Amino acid sequence: MERQLSIAVAQPRCVAYDVTANAVAHAEAVRAAGARVVVFPEMSLTGYELDAAPVSPDDERLAPIVTACAETGTLALVGAPVPGPRIGVLAVDGEGARVAYGKVCLHHSEATRFVPGEPAVIEVDGWRLGLAICRDTGIPEHAAKTAALGIDGYVAGVVHADDEADVHGERALRVAADHDVWVATAAFAGPTGGGFDRTSGRSGIWSAGGELIAEAGGSPDEVVRAVFSKSSP
């Protein structure tokens, strides 16, 4: 018997620091995706602004995303600074939000403000998805520790410059090959902070066999979708 999970990667437009406006853009992406899980880029809710205030899971500004998830049956994995403070992933569904993950492998500029998290897995409809944020994906030890928790897929939100458009694909292929898992990477599109005047976009989804199944272009507001599949033992 084959198990399946529909998953999308989204790269919504982003207004620096404006959680209210960005939450509306996230909700639009959730509705457009038509997927059980939608993965968003690193710090997608605030932009890559290292001085942005942490977003609490009970923040009322998340309401548009919660509503969209309730309407569509979606779990949204949203990038944001979260209490800790950490560079985090908020898992948002129709019931509300919770902090699902904090970035483990911080850059030096990030480590002056944020504390690292720990490898983590989220389970959706029997699928175990390992979580990652940007630099995590470039550290083989991170994928190995996450895979050791037992995973079927590895999902990440990243911010890469436009001249790094191939980086997340190369990393996805390595993770797929090393751990025999599907990989989904949501990459920021459009300008953001931290010197990223131009970002790569090109969010993608790769099979466990290393095949590129779906890929977005370089512009904001694009969403692509695929179906993870795996034979049950």
Token digits for 112?
């002056």
- Asked if the peptide bond before residue 12 counts as cis, ω within 30 degrees of 0, the response is no
pLDDT along the chain (233 residues), means of 10: 91 98 98 98 98 98 98 98 98 98 96 97 97 96 98 97 89 95 97 90 95 96 94 62
Q: What is the pLDDT of residue 3?
A: 86
Asked if residues 36 and 153 have their Cβ atoms less than 8 Å apart, the reply is no
pLDDT of residue 232: 60
CA distances from 64 to 22, 48, 218 (A): 10, 21, 25
| Best CA proximity match to 201, nearest among 213, 216, 184, 191 | 216
Non-local CB neighbours of 233 within 8 Å, separated by 6+ positions: none
DSSP letters of 67-90? HHHHHHT-EEEEEEEETTTEEEEE
Global pTM value: 0.97
**Closest to 229 measured CA to CA, from 175, 152, 155, 164:** 152
Place of tokens 């509306």: 24
Contact indicator for 40, 77 with CB cutoff of 8 Å: yes
Question: Which pLDDT score, from 0 to 100, does residue 127 have?
Answer: 96
Q: What is the pLDDT of residue 208?
A: 93
